[in-house]
Amino acid sequence: MSKLKIVITGGNGQLGRELTEWQSTTADIIGFGRHELDITSLPACRNLFTLHRPDVVIHCAAYTAVDKAETERDEAFRVNAAGTRNVAVAAREAGAKLCYISTDYVFDGTGTAPYNEFDQTNPQTVYGMSKLAGEQAVQTLHDRFYIVRTSWVFGKYGNNFVKTMLKIAGEREQLKVVADQIGSPTYTYDLAAFLLELVHTDFYGIYHASNSGICSWFDFAKVIFEKSGADITAEPCTTADFPRPAPRPAYSAMDHSAIRSNGLKLLRPWREALNHFLKQNDHIIKPSLPE
C-alpha cells in the first residue's frame, strides 16, 4: 500500500478523533475540528484542502443531535447537506477521494431483515433526511467516493450508549432498557480500521459497516453489565414507554454485502468488540472488570 495523506473533518468527534489519533504505517492522518474547519463555508473547505493537498478526505463532521434536529431543521440541513456539498466540491477540486460517514437513519426501520446497500431509503427523521441529502450531494458532486453507513456507534471518545450504561450502573440498582429496537453496534476502533483499509482501494460506492451480529438495546445493555461485572438489574421496556421527539428505527440492522463482494474484511462480532473496548478502557469502568 502506498502512504496516503488523509484529512479528517469532525476530528474531535467520536469517530473523527479515533481516526485522527490512529497510528498508521500506511497513512499520514490529520484531523480538523469545527473550530479549525467550518464545513458550512465553501471557501474554508477549499482553503484547507488546497493547503494540505490530501489524497483522501474522510468526512465525519455532522449535526448529530437527532431529537434537536426535529426543531432545528435548517441547522441540520445546513451542516449535513450544504456542509457535505462544500466538502465534496472542495475535495474533488483538490483531487482527493471522499469518504462520507452516513447512518442507518436513512432507512425507515420497518424492515425485518438486515438492510443492504441498495435497499430503498426512506428516512423518518430530520436527521435521517439531512444525512441522506448529504449522500446525494456526494454522489452528484464527486466521482471517487465511498459512502459508509454505520449504526449504534460506541468507542473511547465522546458520549455513547456503552459509557452511559456504565455510568448508570455506578449510580443505580435497576434500569429499564428498550427491547423492541433492533440494530448492529459499531465500535469506532473497528470502524476506523475498516475505513483506512477501504480508502486505500478504488472500490468506490456505498457500504454498510457495523460489527457483525444484531441485538436489541436491551440485549446490548445486558451484555455490557455482564462483561463489566456491574451489579445492576436491567428490565426490558418498549419504545412507547420512552417517547422521543424523533422516532427511532424499530429495525436498523445492516447487511454487509458490499464489504463481502469487494473482498474486504468484515468487522468482528459486536460482543468481541465490546470486550476489547472494556479491556482497553477499564479506567472508565466501575466496578473494575473481573479477572
Closest CA to 189 of 64, 278, 97, 65: 278
Separation of alpha carbons 115 and 286, rounded Å: 36
Domain boundaries, the chain: 4-160+185-212+253-269
Separation of alpha carbons 262 and 204, rounded Å: 10
- pLDDT attached to residue 283: 67
- pLDDT attached to residue 281: 83
Q: Which of 54-68, 212-226, 228-242, 277-291 has the lowest mean pLDDT?
A: 277-291
- pLDDT attached to residue 1: 56
- Does 290 score more than 60 pLDDT? no
Closest CA to 246 of 149, 123, 113, 135: 123
Please, which residues have CB within 8 angstroms of residue 235's CB and are 6 or more apart in sequence?
A: 174, 175, 176, 177
* Per-residue pLDDT tens digits for 79-121: 999 999 999 999 999 999 999 999 999 999 999 999 999 999 9
- pLDDT attached to residue 284: 61
Rounded mean pLDDT, 147-158: 97
Residue with cell 483531487: 95
In Å, how far from its chain's centre is CA 220? 17
Rounded mean pLDDT, 161-174: 93
C-beta of residue 56 within 8 angstroms of C-beta of residue 99: yes
Active site residue 63: no
- Does 291 score more than 60 pLDDT? no
* Per-residue pLDDT tens digits for 25-61: 999 999 999 999 999 999 999 999 999 999 999 999 9
The domain defined by 4-160+185-212+253-269 folds into Rossmann fold (3.40.50)
From 127, 189, 207, 251, the catalytic residue? 127
Pairing outcome for strands 153-154 and 4-9: unpaired
pTM here?
Answer: 0.95
Rounded mean pLDDT, 203-229: 97
- pLDDT attached to residue 242: 87
* Per-residue pLDDT tens digits for 232-258: 999 999 999 989 999 999 999 999 999
Whether the ω angle into residue 269 lies within 30 degrees of 0, i.e. cis, is no
